[in-house]
Structure 1
Amino acid sequence: MTDTTQTTRAAQTMRAAAVTAYGPADVLRPVELPVPEPGPGQVRVRVRAAGVLPFDIGVREGVIRPPGAQFPIVPGNEFAGTVDAVAPDVTGFGPGDPVLGFSLLGAYAQYVVVGADQVVRKPEEMEWAVAGGFSGNAQGAHMALTAMRVGPGDTVLINAAAGGLGTLAVQLARAWGATTVIGTASEANHAHLRSLGAIPVTYGDGLAERVRAIAPGGVDAALDGAGGDALRVSAEVARHPDRVITMVDTDQARRLGLPELTGTRTADRLAEMTLLYAKGRLRVHIRAEYPWERAADAQRDVGTGHGRGKVILTRWSAAG
């Protein structure tokens, strides 16, 4: 049996935002669902904050269909909260522990159940909103820069550098010793990028020339979060095509002969990034917080593809 004797659950049901059919943002609606029970090796977390990612939009639209997903589908693959219950075989975590973690689905809810190897302890220095939206972009940046072999002395180009992934990638590249980080963004975000240690350049026609004005010999590695022409330019100005990674345009990457990103989210990877945050090496900008009842609006916000930093679901009801 699951060990829930150390905590008292206030209700047998929980509030969540779920879809019962694929479609536009309006299909994401508040529902009541059973509180999930942790099985072997799992923990149940009472969610305090959850990040909103493009992946979640793909789930809602039916473009991304995780194996075994059945309606009602609760999106959300990054979260933070307190451990509510643990399975008998779980060690290292107990009720009340503040954690952040990752999953494919389920975080747009008051409770989520995941493997104990999918959570790490939340640093005291990390606010709940930041913790809720940290895992996805932090691990994505880590995987991408690992694949790009970013290291001391490198010149790195990052497209869409002002977004949730881009801002962490800029800071991680600097933390790993990159000498120069060039970030593409709209002019409104240039000051923000400078504060993170990047040299900002604008999108659009002439991008290759603007990059070469900063790095005449080309860049050592490039991370693309924009796709389209930005990815083509990234491949053009990179000295090593095998060090160009896109997060959004795999079809064009194949046509250009660029490698596909591979890697796995792990607790070790997440712990490494949370440690950098605790040491003050990473900052996360929260651009908007929405109550869980407005999860559809939060996804619309992310779906615009514009804006600086993270969109978070917070202000969960105390009931349940």
Structure 2
Amino acid sequence: MTQNGNALRFLAYAFAAADCGSLRQAATALRVCESSVSRNVVKLEQLLEMQLFERDVRGVRLTEAGRAWTDLVRIYYEGLQEAFRDAARDNRDAKTLRIGLCAVGGGEFLKRLIDRFRKSYPDVSLAIEDVRHEQCLEAVRRRRFDIIFAPELGKVTSCRAEMFWQERIFVLIPAGHSLAEKRVVTWADLAGMQLLVPDGTSGPLLDFPALEGIVTDGCRPTVNMCQGGQASVIFNVQLGQGIALAGESFARNVAIDATAWKPLDGHHNLFSIKAFWLETNPKRAVFRLIGLARKMANTIPSPAHSQGASFR
């Protein structure tokens, strides 16, 4: 039982000897004495009842059986090492809540949510980053983020998803365009226009996956994926090269020269803001944030029903 309990240490010495081809070099790499390496390698061979190494004056090398066994076991060993590192990192990271934002437009709702959370739980640090649409679910599964806010990620089976907010879509139009004189615009008004979508980042401007399924074929603008981020998209709109989309809270708080924000009217003029997280996440902070979001969603009037006029 004791030898089995020391198996990971035996493996560390054996892999170091195999990689270095020398007990002395393995000892140097592990910062132990050479006799310790030799002794633990022998113990592993005795435990397995197998000769792993051939030894001579030039050093050590794996036997044929030893190479086959270590090649197989190394995969599991490295997996265990990663699991231990992840556990140690999670322990250090327990007081940090990692939040991912993917083309979210509900800036006002999220701002209030984050402000209230910080006031309620000042001991929890928040790390907030953008995440690309295609990376969201994998980032949640791998716990790179504890929770992600995004408009829509399609069918989700690997984690929990819940809608908290809906927000009206606004269109950014060049100031000289004929639509700039209208109070509101519809999808039919945008048919055939160049819809500029940021390809390099997922900022407040809505990206193409967020639009799938909400625009009918007969009223669909032509999607133009722009290399770069939202700054490039905004600049191209200013130059009259196309239009862009954003949520109402972003549009009402960001004035852009040589452009006009217009609210989208008619069917499919709203997009949803959802949260995605793992039920198995051990951090209490995740579920405290979810609980606070649910409470806010039930008490704060949604801007989705506002009928504000356009503004420049």
- Structure 1 and Structure 2 fold alike (TM over 0.5): no
Select the structure that is richer in helix: 2
Compute the TM-score of the two structures, normalised by the length of structure 2: 0.26
Larger Cα-atom Rg: 2
Compute the TM-score of the two structures, normalised by the length of structure 1: 0.26
